[in-house]
Copies of this chain bind each other. A is one copy, B any other.
Amino acid sequence: MTEAVSRPTLEAVAARAGVSRATVSRVVNGGDGVREPLVERVRRAVEELGYVPNQAARSLVTRRHDAVAVVIAEPETRVFADPFFALQLRGISKELTAHDSQLVLLLTEGPEDYARVGRYLAGGHVDGALAFSLHLDDPLPGLIRGAGVPTVFGGRPGWGDGPRGDGPTVYVDSDNRGGARDAVRHLVGLGRTRVAHITGPLDQTSAVDRLDGFRDVMVDADPRLIVEGDFTPAGGERAMRVLLDRCPEVDAVFAANDLSAAGALRVLRERGRRVPEDVAVVGFDDMLPVAEGADPPLTTVRQDIEEMGRLMARLLLRGLDRRGRDEDADPGTGKGLGGAPSSVVLPTTLIRRASA
């Protein structure tokens, strides 16, 4: 037996409660101006019938969806391969859940799918967006701006934090430059003189900031001691091979993240260099399974990735609440999160283990 199961309608609720459609609509959308006994009757009817308001229609009135989109400017394969993203999403998920807002993760295969992401964001499905792992020349920020949804960025966007036509850019970041300085100062403090740097992808501000921190300490660094990596173990391996070929006397390496440090450690072992005796190694992130599980366990710069995610979500939700109070809610104006703090930069900590 096959029969159509249909959802209860607004009309059914109105009939059950003995009130008009307009009254039901006002109660369901949290509007004022309905007497308390009527509100009670409508609520009871909604409950008894299991009525779920059609949010496509409802959102035209309330303009709130209780949902936040998360966009990561990486293909889904990297999102699942790099534990950094899982940690950031964990923080975001906890914070959104605590506010009963749905985390909507928009996955892509690559930048050629960003136009579709922009359409979804513009389509009235979410209250705001959290975007991270942006690259310079990334088309995403433009699409997000075009979509007109309030957005908080993870990591300082490449265009700086000055005022723009659509209000200040709101972001959460770690003190990448300060953390890098601590790492390199630690290596210098160990008496190392040929300190190399395996960078991250230099189209991301986090990688550029860590390189700047390295240069702050190693002012006269031999340019051959700086090799570009890409935040992956394979990139760390490649860079370490280049370093050993160019400069066999290298005695310390600051890798821009733990994953590339793990790759570097593998190559050093393969080439018979002892860590830390011959070459001291420091990473960045302190992602536990990677850093603690490394051989030897990795000295690294800790950033609280989960907390960064939590803060991104908190800044967005606060901004949305403020907006809802201060002005006519109009998610189409692209006004950003006026009044909210424009950025938060979290401190980092050097964690000493066996590798340096």
Contact = CB atoms under 8 A, between A and B. Distances in A.
Interface of A: 1-7, 50, 52, 54-60, 65-67, 76-77, 80-81, 83, 85-86, 89-90, 93-94, 97, 100, 102-109, 113, 116-120, 122-125, 145-148, 163, 165-167, 332-335
Contact of A89 (B89, B93, B107, B166): B107
Given A5-B333, A76-B89, A146-B50, A55 B97 contact: no
Contacts of A332: 6-7, 54
B123 A59 contact: yes
A118 to B, nearest CB: 8
16 contacts: A1-B163, A1-B165, A5-B165, A6-B148, A6-B333, A7-B148, A52-B119, A56-B124, A57-B60, A65-B125, A80-B90, A93-B108, A94-B109, A97-B108, A102-B120, A104-B120
Nearest to A163: B2
Contact of A116 (B59, B102, B122, B335): B102
Contact of A67 (B58, B83, B103, B120): B120
A333 B4 contact: yes
Interface pairs A-B: 7 shortest CB-CB? A56-B124, A55-B123, A80-B86, A105-B105, A5-B334, A125-B125, A103-B107
Contacts of A145: 5
Given A102-B106, A334-B7, A165 B119 contact: no
A52 B122 contact: yes
This chain's copy number in the assembly: 2
Given A107-B103, A113-B97, A165-B2, A55 B119 contact: yes
Nearest to A113: B97
A123 to B, nearest CB: 3
A116 B100 contact: yes
A2 B339 CA distance: 13
Contact of A5 (B50, B119, B166): B166
A54 B123 contact: yes
A25 to B, nearest CB: 15
A58 B166 CA distance: 26
Given A54-B124, A80-B83, A103-B106, 6 more contacts: A2-B165, A5-B165, A57-B60, A65-B123, A80-B89, A105-B106
Nearest to A119: B52
Contacts of A122: 7, 52, 54-55
A165 B332 CA distance: 41
A65 B57 CA distance: 14
Nearest to A335: B4
A106 B104 contact: yes
A91 to B, nearest CB: 11
A166 B3 CA distance: 6
B113 A55 contact: no
A334 B50 CA distance: 15
Contacts of A56: 56, 59-60, 123-125
A257 to B, nearest CB: 18
A103 B58 CA distance: 23
Contacts of A52: 118-119, 122, 146-147
A116 B66 contact: yes
Nearest to A54: B124
Given A66-B116, A146-B50, A148-B7, A55 B93 contact: no
